[in-house]
Chains A and B, each alone.
Chain A
Amino acid sequence: MSQSKASLLIGIGNRLRGDDGAGYRLAEALSLDPPKGVQVIATQQLTMELSATLAASQRVLFVDATLDPERCCRWSAPCLEAMDVTALQAVGLSHQLTPEALLAATDALYHCAPKAWQLLLPGLNWGHGDALSPLTEAAVSASLPLVRAWSRAHA
């Protein structure tokens, strides 16, 4: 029931599973002073219902935590990665959707998909608890200015 805006930021994660909540927390922090023209959504997981919101947006940034050791070990600063929305393919149904699958569903349902980026934050601890590890917490803080710059660049 919210009004869609030109840009969309979706922070993904479970706040009760340690660093998995990084994306969610970044979206929450951004919501305290949302950038102009950006709709901010904090969600535990991507669901098909978000497709209508995506279809109404010109660009989207997915923010999520990653356990990928390659990314975590060499992580030094946040970096946005453009997603190749021209090569989207639907994937099988499961309890959760990947950004790629959600974009594919949006394209199939509404014949349009926004330009997409992702920001992956390093995560070390996926155990129970609502605290972020120091590395992840630092990554969230360091990412906020970058996300605001992304917002301004596409305002």
Chain B
Amino acid sequence: MSTRRTIQIDPVTRIEGHAKISIHLGPDGLVETARFHVTEYRGFEKFCEGRPFTEMAAITARICGICPVSHLLAAARTGDKILAVSIPPAAEKLRRLMNLAQIIQSHALSFFHLSSPDFLLGWDSDPQQRNIFGLISANPELARGGIRLRQFGQGVIEALGGRKIHAAWAVPGGVRAPLSAKTRDQITAGLPEAHAVVRQGLDVLKQLLDQHLREELHVFGEFPSLFLGLVGKGDRWEHSSGGDCAGVRVMDSDGSVVADGLSEDDYASYLSEAVEPWSYLKFPYFKALGPEAGSYRVGPLARLNLCERIGSEQADRELLEYRDRGGRVVTASFLYHLARLIEILACLEQMERLLDDPEILATHVRARAEVNCFEAVGISEAPRGTLLHHYCVDENGLIERVNLIIATGQNNTAMNRTITQIAKHDLTAAELAQPQLKEALLNRIEAGIRCFDPCLSCSTHASGSMPMRVQLFGADGALLDQVSRG
């Protein structure tokens, strides 16, 4: 008689989207593999067909309420290329400013609202308290700061685009409105408090990593892989494809550059997507090395690995310390959390520099043209990683075909490897012999997913509510145990 079993965590909580985890036990009764199932689907690529390309920024921004700016900017960038225009320098700087604000607010949400309750309250704390409300009780200053930091990022987005969410501000050819001196000064006034909050977050997390979160570095997704993302000229950290961007870089875990200066226009020649029947989320990989060796990670961890320096004083100091902790190429997925805080610092410093540039107040912010190109690819670094929009249009600018490659999807293989690693480590024979699995253990497996801060609404372009379930299956496929939340 077979003894294979499967555990399911369904729904996965504190992520953007709807998913479940199944843990499969082998004939020896131990964990064989774990799978992250994304169970939602929407089909934006299909229903965009027939729409004018000028609407794509506004339509694709609706994919997500957390990171609409990423789609807005990628769509606008693709639109620039359909018009075949160079956008005005002020527009380039304003788009960068909005992307920095987007990264700040999204990373603040991930760290302060969604993940820090695990670190500060403990894996085995009451699940009803293990959230932002619990954090407020345990460390109100940190909670208040995290909320204020996100509010700052959203405030910048609103100041630029008129709305916090779904601001239809970036358009093909530039942006709709220039920045006033008054708004610039308002944004500048918020920077000191934002700096103080991220410093506080860094101090708290680094202290935890030195103490009771040391084990997590080796258990939560510590493995070699490729890393992919944009880099800037001079090997600097980059988040946008305009200006000083030097294209896409692919690096391996030894720090060797596998490919460099890749153009988004050629993405189909170097990226491919695998599918599995148990998830709506695809598995992109670096084509030249195949689905397994070519699997890669994107996002904060990758961006910090790919660059030599960030290019701003405080963030570069943190980067050096981060590399002392994790190595020149950081392979521990748990350090995504630290990478996020360093990126917030980098964003604040770059924001300061942009706001000091008088050109950002220039009023010429949009180039106008007709359709000059029938196919274009735009790229941007979303908070969660590299985002590609690919449109084909007819002579009237109506969309004939769309392909969206989303950051979260590119981390899909890594997320599956991460939860398998945690499950193998934590679900020992003794734990599995218990009549009921400890909730804290399942929470740790979920937290493996949260390292990547996945946005499933984006990655499946699907409407999301966000509950999650973990299920345990036997070798015969029978459901043996499950924990549901949300």
* Chain B residue contacts of A90, Cβ below 8 A: 133, 136-137
In the complex, are the beta carbons of B140 and A51 less than 8 A apart?
no
* Chain A residue contacts of B133, Cβ below 8 A: 90-93, 101, 104-105, 108
In the complex, are the beta carbons of B113 and A95 less than 8 A apart?
no
- Cβ of A123 to closest chain B Cβ, rounded Å: 20
- Cβ of A91 to closest chain B Cβ, rounded Å: 8
- Cβ of B166 to closest chain A Cβ, rounded Å: 9
0/1 string, B154-191, CB within 8 A of A gives 1: 11001100000100000000000000000000110010
A52 to B190 Cα, complex, angstroms = 14
Interface 9-mer from B142-150, B227-235, B261-269, B361-369: B142-150
- Cβ of A19 to closest chain B Cβ, rounded Å: 20
In the complex, are the beta carbons of A108 and B136 less than 8 A apart?
yes
Which of B65, B128, B147, B186 is the one whose CB lies under 8 Å from A48?
B147
A91 to B465 Cα, complex, angstroms = 18
Closest to A89 in B: B133
In the complex, are the beta carbons of A49 and B131 less than 8 A apart?
no
A93 to B114 Cα, complex, angstroms = 10
* Chain A residue contacts of B190, Cβ below 8 A: 1
Q: Is B350 an interface residue (CB 8 A)?
A: no
In the complex, are the beta carbons of A1 and B466 less than 8 A apart?
no
- Cβ of B181 to closest chain A Cβ, rounded Å: 14
Q: Is A44 an interface residue (CB 8 A)?
A: yes
- Cβ of A93 to closest chain B Cβ, rounded Å: 4
In the complex, are the beta carbons of A49 and B150 less than 8 A apart?
yes
Closest to B133 in A: A90
Which of A91, A101, A109 is the one whose CB lies under 8 Å from B143?
A109
In the complex, are the beta carbons of A49 and B140 less than 8 A apart?
no
* Chain A residue contacts of B137, Cβ below 8 A: 90, 108
- Cβ of B370 to closest chain A Cβ, rounded Å: 31
In the complex, are the beta carbons of A95 and B165 less than 8 A apart?
no
* Chain A residue contacts of B159, Cβ below 8 A: 1
In the complex, are the beta carbons of B147 and A51 less than 8 A apart?
yes
In the complex, are the beta carbons of A93 and B158 less than 8 A apart?
no
Q: Tell me what chain B mostly uses at the interface: helix, strand, loop, or mixed.
A: helix
A110 to B131 Cα, complex, angstroms = 18
A109 to B190 Cα, complex, angstroms = 19
Please report which residues of chain B, range 64-88, place their CB below 8 angstroms from some CB of chain A when the two chains form the complex: 65
- Cβ of A60 to closest chain B Cβ, rounded Å: 17
In the complex, are the beta carbons of B136 and A105 less than 8 A apart?
yes
Please report which residues of chain B, range 206-248, place their CB below 8 angstroms from some CB of chain A when the two chains form the complex: none
What is the size, in residues, of chain A's interface with B at 8 Å between Cβ atoms? 18
* Chain A residue contacts of B486, Cβ below 8 A: 94
A109 to B137 Cα, complex, angstroms = 8
A91 to B134 Cα, complex, angstroms = 10
* Chain A residue contacts of B154, Cβ below 8 A: 49
* Chain B residue contacts of A91, Cβ below 8 A: 133
Q: Is B4 an interface residue (CB 8 A)?
A: no
* Chain B residue contacts of A104, Cβ below 8 A: 133
* Chain A residue contacts of B151, Cβ below 8 A: 49, 52
- Cβ of A28 to closest chain B Cβ, rounded Å: 12
A52 to B151 Cα, complex, angstroms = 9
A105 to B186 Cα, complex, angstroms = 26
In the complex, are the beta carbons of A109 and B187 less than 8 A apart?
no
Closest to B137 in A: A108
In the complex, are the beta carbons of B144 and A1 less than 8 A apart?
no
0/1 string, A113-127, CB within 8 A of B gives 1: 000000000000000
A52 to B145 Cα, complex, angstroms = 11
* Chain B residue contacts of A92, Cβ below 8 A: 128, 131, 133
Please report which residues of chain B, range 103-161, place their CB below 8 angstroms from some CB of chain A when the two chains form the complex: 113, 128, 131-133, 136-137, 140, 143-144, 147-148, 150-151, 154-155, 158-159
Which of A44, A48, A95 is the one whose CB lies under 8 Å from B132?
A48
In the complex, are the beta carbons of A93 and B14 less than 8 A apart?
yes
* Chain A residue contacts of B144, Cβ below 8 A: 109-110
0/1 string, A81-102, CB within 8 A of B gives 1: 0000000001111110000010
Residue from A49, A108, A109 with most neighbouring chain B CB atoms (10 Å): A49
Please report which residues of chain A, range 3-41, place their CB below 8 angstroms from some CB of chain B when the two chains form the complex: none
- Cβ of A8 to closest chain B Cβ, rounded Å: 15
A108-B137, A109-B140 known; A52 vs B186 contact (CB < 8 Å): no
Which of A49, A94, A95, A109 is the one whose CB lies under 8 Å from B136?
A109
A93 to B128 Cα, complex, angstroms = 8
A52 to B143 Cα, complex, angstroms = 12
Residue from B147, B158, B187 with most neighbouring chain A CB atoms (10 Å): B147
Closest to B464 in A: A95
In the complex, are the beta carbons of B158 and A52 less than 8 A apart?
no
* Chain A residue contacts of B131, Cβ below 8 A: 92-93
Q: List 10 A-B contacts (CB under 8 A).
A: A1-B187, A1-B190, A44-B65, A48-B150, A49-B147, A52-B148, A93-B132, A109-B143, A109-B144, A109-B147
New A-B contacts (15) at CB < 8 Å, excluding given A1-B158, A1-B190: A1-B155, A44-B65, A48-B132, A49-B148, A51-B147, A90-B137, A91-B133, A92-B133, A93-B132, A94-B486, A108-B136, A108-B140, A109-B143, A109-B144, A110-B144
Which 3 pairs of residues, A with B, have the shortest CB-CB distance?
A: A93-B131, A49-B151, A90-B133
